[in-house]
A and B are shown apart, each in its own frame.
Chain A
Amino acid sequence: MDILQALDAVWAARWPILEGIQHTLFISILSIIMGTILGVGVGLILTYGNRWIRFLVRLYSDFLRGTPVFVLILACFYILSVVGIQLTAYQAGIFALTLFCSSHVGEIVRGALQAIPAGQTEAAKSIGLTFRKMFVSVLFPQALRQILPTWVNTATEIVKASTLLSIIGVVELLLSVQQVISRTFLSLELYFFAGFVFFLINFAIEKVGRLVERKIAIPT
């Protein structure tokens, strides 16, 4: 393997590859943000919702988590258009990843809230807090510390799952690299390069996650 030759090829194709990286980042970040917002809602309903809405959201969550992301992406792209919702590949991909993310975040949030001892709720009630105030000051800050490590894990899963969008023609990092490979035939070197970039992105996410985790850790 000639490393110089590979670097040369990457350099020559830097603009399309950079654009691929940019798309990967944009798709991942947007899906994670929207999926998290939706997921917090899912988690709240799973924890506090009344029986019927909880049942519906439970179905939603179980179904999404039980389906491969790959199938989800294909479904969002091909099936939605059949029922008259026309999304571009890009939009359909973000939509699929958002749904996937929301179901996982939902379970994380539910688990974290349910792990808080009942005594916390009782103490908050005993000093006259309404549910909203109790949630904001007592429950959520504690849940957040539980959520963060697993949430970081989910975020990296989304970044990795974004490569699957290449199958519906979204030119994210993997597909942009594949396009360069088809011109240069440097598959080993360039796949390695793509893998390394994904690793860097996820490594950065994990590092930031750890940092925040340490910052908000409760002293004992």
Chain B
Amino acid sequence: MSSPILEIQNLHKRFGKFEVLKGINLTMQQGDVISLIGSSGSGKTTLLRCVNFLEDYEVGLVAVAGEQIGYVEKNGKRTRLSEKKIARQRAMTGMAFQHFNLFPHMTAIRNVMLGLIKTRGMSKDEARSVAEKWLERVGMLDRRDHFPGQLSGGQQQRVAIARAIAMNPQLMLFDEVTSALDPELVNEVLEVILDLAKDGMTMLLVTHEMQFAHDVSNKVIFMHDGKIGEEGPPKQLFKKPKSDRLATFLKNSKF
């Protein structure tokens, strides 16, 4: 059997004295869509950021497609990989951010093309056609020559998703991608994600949209205090929460 797309074992992460992640275990197979829910400060975003090594981690293992991210173990000693290797590993996953983080000095299509050219080594023409394909997929092809400042939040986020996914990652990470959007722009972004999920994209999402988490995921993880509080299929987790904590959280999230 091929190795899982994502494997996290006993992951610990601390910021100074504060331990944010206290031993996380998580496995994702090809095509899995997993949502991380939980109150702020529970470690959801940090967990996500450890997967593409935007955060380093002290203890444990994060492996994408069987390859440990960020470190190499040799004779029981852990050393950080070179910058080049880490960069290559990061390109195995794609990430969409809460605040989009498009490059403001580039048009929509150049935003998508940059990684294709610089990381994937495509020619400009090749990169352009791939970028066009993905911009069309997220419904942004007609805005290809607009700069981020000329686009609405929802449009920017769709371009940002195209930028990440055009790299053909094994796993997509979504970090509260609708939290910074006006309510009426949330759906256009969620629809894009739903569309990708139907296509079999493996996705790990941090979200506050409970209904969306319920609809899109095949597994939901409730994080609490740096640990996995409860996990399971969305129906079970949302309808029959086992712990009082999750029940309270769901009630407060108006689900």
**Footprint of B on A, CB under 8 Å?**
117, 119-120, 122-131, 133, 137-138, 141-142, 145, 218-220
User: Closest CB of chain B to A119's CB: distance in Å?
Assistant: 4
Least CB distance, A48 to chain B, in whole angstroms: 12
Beta-carbon contact of A125 and B105 below 8 Å: no
B residues 94-120 near A (Cβ < 8 Å) are 94-95, 97, 99, 101-105, 114-115, 118-119
B42, chain A: closest CB distance, angstroms:
21
Is there contact, CB below 8 Å, between B83 and A123? no
**Contact indicator per residue, chain B 115-128, by CB within 8 Å of chain A (1) or not (0):** 10011000000000
Residues in chain A near residue B95, CB distance under 8 A: 122-123, 126
B86 to chain A, nearest CB (A): 8
Using CB atoms, name the residue of chain B closest to A118: B101
Complex contacts, A128 vs chain B, CB 8 Å: 87-88, 90-91, 115, 118-119, 167
Q: Does B52 contact A (CB under 8 A)?
A: yes
B121 CB to nearest A CB, Å: 11
- The answer to whether A142 touches B97 (Cβ under 8 A) is no
A119-B99, A145-B105 are known; give 5 further A-B pairs, CB within 8 A.
A122-B54, A123-B102, A126-B95, A127-B114, A127-B164
Residue of B nearest to A145 (CB): B105
Contact of B87 among A125, A141, A219 (CB under 8 A): A125
Interchain CB contact under 8 A, B103 and A120: yes
Q: Are B150 and A219 in contact (CB under 8 A)?
A: yes
Give the complex CA separation of A128 and B89 in angstroms: 7
Known: A133-B118, A219-B147, A220-B147. A127 touches B167 (CB 8 A): yes
User: DSSP majority for the A interface?
Assistant: helix
**Chain A positions within 8 Å of B84 at CB level:** 130
A130 to B87, Cβ gap below 8 A? Answer: yes
How many angstroms between the C-alpha atoms of A220 and B147 in the bound complex? 7
Do A126 and B147 touch (CB < 8 A)?
no
Q: Are A129 and B119 in contact (CB under 8 A)?
A: yes
By the criterion CB–CB under 8 Å, are A120 and B101 in contact?
yes
Q: Which of B101, B114, B118 contacts A119 (CB 8 A)?
A: B101
CB of B171, distance to nearest CB on chain A (Å): 12
Contact residues in B for A219 (Cβ distance below 8 Å): 147, 149-150
Can you pick out 22 interface pairs between chain A and chain B where the beta carbons lie within 8 Å of each other?
A: A117-B101, A119-B97, A119-B99, A120-B103, A122-B54, A125-B52, A125-B87, A125-B90, A126-B164, A127-B119, A127-B163, A127-B164, A128-B88, A128-B91, A128-B115, A129-B118, A130-B87, A137-B118, A141-B105, A142-B103, A142-B104, A218-B105
For B104, list chain A residues within 8 Å (CB): 142, 218
Residues in B neighbouring A122, C-beta threshold 8 A: 54, 95, 97, 101
* Contact between A123 and B103, CB atoms less than 8 A apart: yes
- Nearest-Cβ distance from residue B128 to partner chain A, whole angstroms: 16
Closest to A138 in B: B103
Q: Which residue of B lies closest to A131 (CB)?
A: B83
User: Roughly how many angstroms separate A141 CA and B114 CA in the complex, as a whole number?
Assistant: 14
Which of chain B's residues have a CB closer than 8 A to the CB of A119? 97, 99, 101
Residue of B nearest to A132 (CB): B83
A-B complex: 4 closest residue pairs judged by Cβ atoms:
A128-B91, A127-B115, A220-B149, A123-B101
Most buried by A among B84, B104, B163: B104
Q: Mark B150-173, 1 if CB is under 8 A from A, else 0.
A: 100000000010011001000000
Closest A residue to B111 using CB positions = A123
| Chain A residues, Cβ within 8 Å of B147 | 218-220
Q: Closest chain A residue to B147 by CB distance? A: A219
Chain A residues with CB below 8 A from B115, complex form: 127-129
Query: Do B150 and A220 touch (CB < 8 A)?
Result: yes
The chain B residue sitting closest to A126, CB to CB, is B95
When distances are taken between beta carbons in the complex, the residues of chain B under 8 Å from A131 are: 83
Per-position binary interface string of chain B over residues 209-223, scored 1 when its CB falls under 8 Å from any chain A CB and 0 otherwise: 000000000000000
Closest Cβ neighbor of A141 among chain B residues: B105
Interface string of B195-234 (1 = CB under 8 A from A): 0000000000000000000000000000000000000000
Residue of A nearest to B173 (CB): A126
Set of chain B residues within 8 Å of A130, measured between Cβ atoms: 83-84, 87
Contact A142 B105 (CB under 8 A): yes
Residues of B within 8 A of A133 (CB): 118-119
Cα A122 to Cα B160 in complex, Å, equals: 13
- B114: A residues at CB distance < 8 A: 127, 129, 137-138
